[in-house]
Amino acid sequence: MNLPNLKIKSKFIIFSCLLFCLYFFSNSFIYAQNNEKTDTDYLVPMGNVLQIDAELKTIIVRNEVDGCPLQVGDSVLKIDNKTISNYGEFSSILYSLPNGSNVSILVNRNGNNLNLISSKEILEKINFNNLISGFATLTYIDCDNNEFGAVGHPINIGNSRKIPIKNGAISTTTDITIQKSIKGNVGAINARREYSIGQFTTNNNYGIKGTINNLDVSNLKKYKVASLSEVKLGKAQIILQNESNVCQKYNIEIIAIENQRSPSPKTFKIKITDKDLLSRTGGIVQGMSGTPIVQGDKIIGAISHAVENDPSLGYGVFIGWMRNN
């Protein structure tokens, strides 16, 4: 055999072996990394009732007056063709106009800009402001980055969806009282604000997200984040703060699951079955939005909507949509 050819063949075999080893170990490394990420994808489900306070990027219409084209939830962008960013600017322009003036107003309604006309006198009867406050429930905390998620649906006012937030804060609560839900009327949670635990500016279809900075969760159990395919019909639990300020588990049933290939609210339908919770709340009430739902050792989502004609029924949003959108 020709010696030069033998050397060439030997080098080729060695090179091929090196490429194979490199491919094998690279893929093994990637595979190990993916496994590690999946195995450590955990959240702490919370259930604390929050007071949510926020300053909006625009001023919002809060009431309606006969003869005025403005609707609750309209976001005011301009008055008298002048751009405004806060209530002080709006008020200054409005009151500088002569009495009897017709005033042009540019508003955003359901994502559409509308040019409207109203009189100065009618506009003075409208309540405009850029502050909101209310109650909802803390869904989870991600200990890896101190991120929280809450509410499970967008904060909105009237026809205004996903209101843009300039600055928002969440606070713990105490002295909880509950107005029970009954058929045809959804009740509500009320509470007294305690202390601030985080800030947020994100307000989207699946709730609010921000940063926790004043809450120790080191002693609380972490739950693995479920994939949508892991959510099963049958028994599950919600975690919610009670009147004794303890976050407690309550039994529910998952009675329907939507096969959602892309993010969408109302991922699964739930039924409250816990007799203790039903006796105290009548079912789902306002303020329970964001209540975490767990199944076994996995967190699967959060309460997002109630069914008005049967408050024991409601909907949950998949935890993956809340985290990644």
What does the pLDDT look like over 17-53, one tens digit per residue? 444 444 444 443 333 333 333 344 999 999 999 999 9
**Look-up of token digits 């909507």:** 305
Percent of the chain with pLDDT over 90: 80
How far apart (Å, rounded) are the C-alpha atoms in residues 163 and 186? 23
Q: In 3D, which of 314, 312, 322 has the Cα closest to residue 151? A: 322
How far apart (Å, rounded) are the C-alpha atoms in residues 215 and 75? 34
**Angle at the Cα of 243 (from 150 to 281), degrees rounded to 5?**
75
- What is the pTM (predicted TM-score) of this model? 0.84
- Tell me the torsion sign for CA atoms 158, 161, 167, 170: positive
Phi-psi region of 165 (alpha: psi -120 to 50; beta: other; left: phi over 0): beta
Residue-wise pLDDT tens digits, 196-211? 999 999 999 999 999 9
Let me know: does 268 contact 256? Beta carbons within 8 Å: yes
Phi, psi for 21 (deg, rounded to 5): -65, -40
Burial of 263 (0-12, 13-18, 19+ CB in 10 A): middle
Residue 192: strand pairing partners? 174
The first and second tokens of residue 306, run together, are 């109630």
Torsion of CA 302, 304, 305, 306, to 10 degrees: 30
Residue 272 has pLDDT above 50, yes or no: yes
Residues in the chain, total:
325
